[in-house]
Structure 1
Amino acid sequence: MSISNRDVLVTGGAGFIGSHLTERLLADGATVTVVDDLSNGEPDRVPEAATFLEADLTDPDALEGHLDDIDLVVHLAASKHVDTDRPHAQFDDNTRMTRNILEAMAEADVTEIAYTSSSTVYGEAPRPTPEDYAPLEPISAYGASKLADEGLLSARAHSHDLTVWNFRFANVVGPRLRGAVIPDFIEKLRENPETLTVLGDGRQEKSYLHIEDCLDAILHTVEHADDAMNTYNLGTRTTTSVDRIAAIVAEELGVDPEHEYTGGERGWTGDVPKMRLSIEKLSALGWEPRHSSDEAVRRSTREIIDELQ
């Protein structure tokens, strides 16, 4: 399915990934409506060419009248904090949003949805982790909510006229990223270039995907995969440790700090210490990332440093 000249609704479109995706869709000729409650997003990230609706998607009436001319929904909105102190409420919020969106789509006869899931649905799995790995045993409420959402989408896809593109993300990085390890290290080292506090033991090692590669992979998959339920990992073939990220950020800032570690193999409760997704299924569809994990981290570090000048 080509995105060009389509009417697309993007939930969470004022956030990090959503705002970049909205810009890409507009550049490709789509008409875009952004829905966001601004709990994670910023209104000035929404391009003027997009229609903006501030709404809480846990409200079942939030989309009433807004899907009549929509061809495709891209659902990115979620409560995203893996180490939340309100896990049951987070699970309820995320699954309620997805349920409400599906009900509104059915009412408006919208039959296509792209959903941003997460590598957290796998829990602590062997690496590289393929899409058909089982059992899926998430270790955070966030991961559990993503897995539950996948179940809702799969059930609707296989029992109704619905096409789902379900993306399990690695760690996506790039400009506008906040509340993650790269901007955290940048801000800490600007405040104190002598010492850097690192959560955990620094050996956590994950795959980092640049936002441009992420968007390319999403659009490529939507255009080339046409099953009822299309589940794809999005990531790189390489990984980067937290210590390596700290070294890259320090190099780009021109500092040489001592490291202090909070200890333990996890940075926070629910953190999966090591993650690398298999992207063989995506590769067979004809897509490969342009940046390695280290390259994505370094490019993103430079972009975020420039933003925070």
Structure 2
Amino acid sequence: MSKAKYLVTGGAGYVGGVVAAHLLEAGHAVTVLDDLSTGFAESVPAGAEFIEGRVHDAARWLDGSYDAVLHFAAFSQVGESVQQPQKYYENNIAGSEALLAAMREAGVRRLVFSSTAAVYGEPAVVPIPESAPTEPGNPYGVSKLAVDRLIAEESRTHGLAAASLRYFNVAGAHGEQGERHDPESHLIPLVLQVALGRRESIAVYGDDYPTPDGTCVRDYIHVADLAEAHLLALDALTPGEHLVCNLGNGNGFSVREVVETVRKVTGHPVPEVAAPRRPGDPAVLVASAETARERLGWVPARPELADIVADAWEFARRHAGREATA
């Protein structure tokens, strides 16, 4: 990949920040655009230019000097999307429409979009291929699928070279950048909060699923592996094509396996509390990432759950220590 200049929307967030760091490490120039509504200024990697602003206003800053845009600026809490769907449609869909228009006006014709496995809803086939029906079960997934379709149309009608990367469960950390949402809803950081003594127990929502231990099975991918896929996607972009790739390890781990792995990695007890199933929780969500392997040449380098948890644990301990001394 030759040296280039990239705009990273949402680059003060978890995944966007790690991707921005990887771009900088590869020698590229990076500008982060983020309104800090869910991100953190300190998550913007050193060496990146930072613009505090909304993606809706990208036309104010986007010009022909940029080689591509990597778009992460979205709200992503499933539960909140059910309670406030209009918030998700206005930010995720309208913001992306404005970004696509700004890119067209500026002549920036390459885009990598942060999509999600939530577009599939309850899967009919596991592992899930990109050809699976897209029937999202919540407004978050609806909003992301709508943007995928907007991008496909932009590629067809205006020659945009684009890729939508559909993530499964992202976890782990990269250096000083790790997962911290408010409120936190992801399993690994929640279990680590128990290990840190910040939460009394972890709720296990349903233990009677048709899985080996009765708990839900999910596909976990290390955030650094995810970031590397974005750099590979930039090289694979083709004018007029909207490439869609699932990103996952292709195998799954149950809730109980995650909890037990946290116990082993941290050396701390993690009490479990049984809770009823959550409506709409599929028993198994596992990716088929064959398209990413074939088109991007991407193979996860950190597929072991223990390695993912260990990196997340190191970040959680460092962050907790900084909070304690602040």
TM-score (norm 1): 0.90
Matches within 5 A, 1:40-189: 40-58=38-56, 61-84=57-80, 85-125=83-123, 126-134=125-133, 136-175=134-173, 176-178=178-180, 179=184, 180-189=186-195
| Contact 1:82/1:270 (<8 A) preserved | no
| Contact 2:23/2:231 (<8 A) preserved | no
| Contact 2:195/2:269 (<8 A) preserved | no
Matches within 5 A, 1:238-277: 238-264=251-277, 266=278, 271-277=281-287
1:270 Cα deviation from its structure 2 partner = 5.2
Distance 2:237 2:108 in 1: 18
Distance 1:215 1:258 in 2: 33
| Contact 2:219/2:251 (<8 A) preserved | yes
Q: What residue is the counterpart of 2:203 in the other structure?
A: 198
Distance 1:296 1:113 in 2: 31
Q: Are 1:290 and 2:288 matched, yes or no?
A: no
Tell me whether 196-205 or 10-19 shows the greater mean CA deviation. 196-205
| Contact 2:161/2:237 (<8 A) preserved | no
Measured against aligned partners, the alpha-carbon deviations of 1:61-88 in whole angstroms (never above 9, x if no partner) come to 3431433311100001101111112023
1:24 Cα deviation from its structure 2 partner = 1.0
1:57 Cα deviation from its structure 2 partner = 2.1
Measured against aligned partners, the alpha-carbon deviations of 1:95-127 in whole angstroms (never above 9, x if no partner) come to 011001001111111101100100000111121
Distance 1:123 1:81 in 2: 15
Distance 1:27 1:258 in 2: 40
1:191 Cα deviation from its structure 2 partner = 2.3
Measured against aligned partners, the alpha-carbon deviations of 1:181-224 in whole angstroms (never above 9, x if no partner) come to 2121121332278x523141251111000011111222123213
> What amino acid does structure 2 have at the position aligned with 1:220?
L
> What amino acid does structure 1 have at the position aligned with 2:298?
W
Mind listing any 5+ residue stretches in structure 1 that lack a counterpart?
A: none
Distance 1:114 1:192 in 2: 37
Distance 1:63 1:157 in 2: 19
Match of 1:230 among 236, 239, 243: 243
1:297 Cα deviation from its structure 2 partner = 3.4
SS in 1 for 2:164: strand
SS in 2 for 1:291: coil
Distance 2:280 2:9 in 1: 25
Tell me whether 125-134 or 177-186 shows the greater mean CA deviation. 177-186
Distance 1:191 1:182 in 2: 14
Distance 1:159 1:244 in 2: 46
Q: What residue is the counterpart of 2:212 in the other structure?
A: none
What is the aligned-residue RMSD (CA, Å)? 1.9
Distance 2:144 2:271 in 1: 37
1:94 Cα deviation from its structure 2 partner = 0.6
Measured against aligned partners, the alpha-carbon deviations of 1:21-53 in whole angstroms (never above 9, x if no partner) come to 111111112111100011121101213321111
SS in 1 for 2:59: coil
State the number of aligned residues: 300
Distance 2:68 2:111 in 1: 6
Closer, same or farther: CA 9–257 of 1 in aligned 2, 3 Å: closer
> What amino acid does structure 2 have at the position aligned with 1:177?
E
Distance 2:268 2:317 in 1: 16
1:166 Cα deviation from its structure 2 partner = 0.9
Closer, same or farther: CA 247–300 of 1 in aligned 2, 3 Å: same
Closer, same or farther: CA 50–257 of 1 in aligned 2, 3 Å: closer
Q: What residue is the counterpart of 1:214 in the other structure?
A: 226
| Contact 2:19/2:228 (<8 A) preserved | no
> What amino acid does structure 1 have at the position aligned with 2:196?
R
1:150 Cα deviation from its structure 2 partner = 0.4
Closer, same or farther: CA 158–107 of 1 in aligned 2, 3 Å: same
> What amino acid does structure 2 have at the position aligned with 1:215?
A
Closer, same or farther: CA 287–68 of 1 in aligned 2, 3 Å: closer
